[in-house]
Amino acid sequence: MIEVINLVKHYRASDGSVVRAVDGVSLSVAPGEMVGLLGANGAGKTTTLRVLATLLKPTSGTARVGGCDVVTDPLGARRHLGYVSATTGVPDRLTAREIMRSYGRLHGLDEEPLTRRIALIVQSLGLADFIDRPAGRLSSGQRQRASLARALVHDPPALVLDEPTNALDVVGARDLLHLFDGLRADGRAILLSTHRLHEIERRCDRFVIIDGGRIVAQGTPSEILGPHGSLEEAFFAALAAGAAS
């Protein structure tokens, strides 16, 4: 469902030097799979995910969502994709319902199916309490859930989530991740990036570790963990190995 092949993204810093944000990354996510993208800040996670979300254009390489290339068919890619990032916010004066409704309209959904869909999402994500409150008055956890709801309005088969639990407390984070489990069970492909390793230690099907724009390790949890006791240790070991090579 999600494919990234040899993605390269360079940009020019203000002093003229070239920054290699992503330097040859390849990964894939199949339907029903949850892949965790791990890395320190500035490793290139966000850039990769933004390319997938068609917010950035790759310098070279391919990225595909639901079979649609992000460069040649961005609209198609967007239709297959739901994107939530840490910085994604909600309009302050609209209620969650209005947000979802306007987003559904943007996707070209008709009123009837849209209403049904919204009801479905409200139920499955547990938004009933605050669905009609202006989003500016919601707590951070509620806001993230509202964002996720918005991303799900058009029933995307793939979800790309960039550090979705950043602003959340322990409870909120756990609730959100629980939701992700449910979505995966639905058969969606989820690509999740985070630097909170302990949260996803046991939830993901695969891990991909990125450092300096390159993949330094990828595989199933057992492969990654290997001899190490925790994901954290494995992570640092992978970074060291990557730095050495």
Partner 1 sequence: MSAADARRAANGQETSGLRAKARLALARRDLLEFIRDRRTLFVTLLLPMAMYPILALSSALGVRTALSDIDSRTAPTNLVIVFTGSQRDAQALATRLGGLQKPEEARSKHDWPASVSFGFGSAEEARAAVEAGQADLWIDVPEQVLDQLDGNGTISIEARGPDTKVLPPRVREQFVAVTRGLADDARRRRTDRAGLPESMLDPIDVRFTGKMDPPGTISTRGILPTAAGGVFVLLAVLTMTGAFYPAIDAIAGEKERGTIETLLIAPCAAIDIVAGKFLAVWAVALATLVANVVSIALTTAVSLRFLPEGGKLLPEGHLPIVVGVSLLAFIGLSAIAAAMCLAVTTASKSGKEAQNTLTPVLLMASALAGAGLVIDLGRNTLLPAVPFAGQVALARATLEPDERPAVLPSVPTEGPTQSRPAGLPDRVAATGLIERLALPLAVSLISSAVIVWLMLQVTANLLTDEEILFRGPDVAGNLWSRPGRRRRPSVAQGFTALAIGLAGLWYAQGIAPADFALAIPVQQAAAVVLPLVLLMAWQRVDLRRTFGLRWPEAAAGGRRGVVGRTAASVSGAVLIGGGLFVLGAAVLLAVRGTHVSAEAKTLAEKLIGMMRDKPVWLSWALIALLPAIGEELLFRGWVQSALVGAWPSRGRMVAGVVVQAACFAIFHLLPERMPQTFALGLVAGMLTVATRSLLPAIACHAAHNSMPLVMLWLVGGLSKGADSDSAAVVQAAAAGVNLPAWAVIAALASVATGAAMLWLAVRGRAEAGLGCLRAAGFSAVCTIGLASLGCGFEAGRVVAAEPGAAVPAAVPQRLRVAVAPLASAVEWDGDQPTGVVIDIWRDLEKRLGTETDFVRVDTFKRLLETLNSGEADVALGPFAITEERERIFDLTHPIIHSGLRIAVRQRDESGFLSALRSLFSWQLLQLLGTVLLLALASGHLLWWFEHRGNPESFPPQYPRGMWEAIWWIASTVVAGGCDNKHVASGLGRTIAFAWMVGGIMLLAAFTSVLTATLTAEQVAGNIHGPKDLAGRTVGCQEAAVTVKEVRRRGGISREFSKLNEALDALRRDELDAVVGENQQMMFLLNQSGRESLNLVGPIFEAFDCGFGLPNGSPLREPLNTAILRMREDGTMDRIREQWLGRHD
Give the pair of three-digit tokens for residue 175. 């609730």
Contact 231, 196 (CB under 8 A): no
- Cβ burial 85-97 (10 Å sphere, 16+ → b, else e): bbebebeeebbbb
For residues 98 and 175, which CB has a smaller minimum distance to partner 1 in the complex? 98
Contact 189, 158 (CB under 8 A): yes
Q: Tell me which residues in 68-107 interact with partner 1 (CB under 8 A).
A: 75-76, 78-79, 81, 83, 85, 87-94, 98, 102-103, 105-107
For residues 159 and 217, which CB has a smaller minimum distance to partner 1 in the complex? 159
Kindly state the smallest distance separating residue 87's Cβ from partner 1, in Å.
4
Told to check if 110 binds partner 1 by CB under 8 A, we report yes
Residue (of 53, 59, 49, 48) closest to 25 by Cα position: 48
Told to check if 53 binds partner 1 by CB under 8 A, we report yes
Told to check if 13 binds partner 1 by CB under 8 A, we report yes
Told to check if 41 binds partner 1 by CB under 8 A, we report no
Of 42, 113, 182, 187, the one binding partner 1 (CB under 8 A) is 113
Kindly state the smallest distance separating residue 225's Cβ from partner 1, in Å.
34
Contact 64, 3 (CB under 8 A): yes
> CB-based contacts of 140: which residues, under 8 Å, 6+ apart?
167, 168, 169, 172
SS3 108: coil
Kindly state the smallest distance separating residue 89's Cβ from partner 1, in Å.
3
User: Count residues contacting partner 1 (CB under 8 A)?
Assistant: 44
Kindly state the smallest distance separating residue 62's Cβ from partner 1, in Å.
18
Residue (of 49, 67, 29, 245) closest to 164 by Cα position: 49
- Tell me the C-alpha to C-alpha distance, in Å, between residue 79 and each of 183, 192, 240: 17, 18, 39
Kindly state the smallest distance separating residue 15's Cβ from partner 1, in Å.
4
Residues that bind partner 1 (CB under 8 A): 11, 13-17, 50, 53-57, 75-76, 78-79, 81, 83, 85, 87-94, 98, 102-103, 105-110, 112-113, 117, 134, 147, 150, 154-155
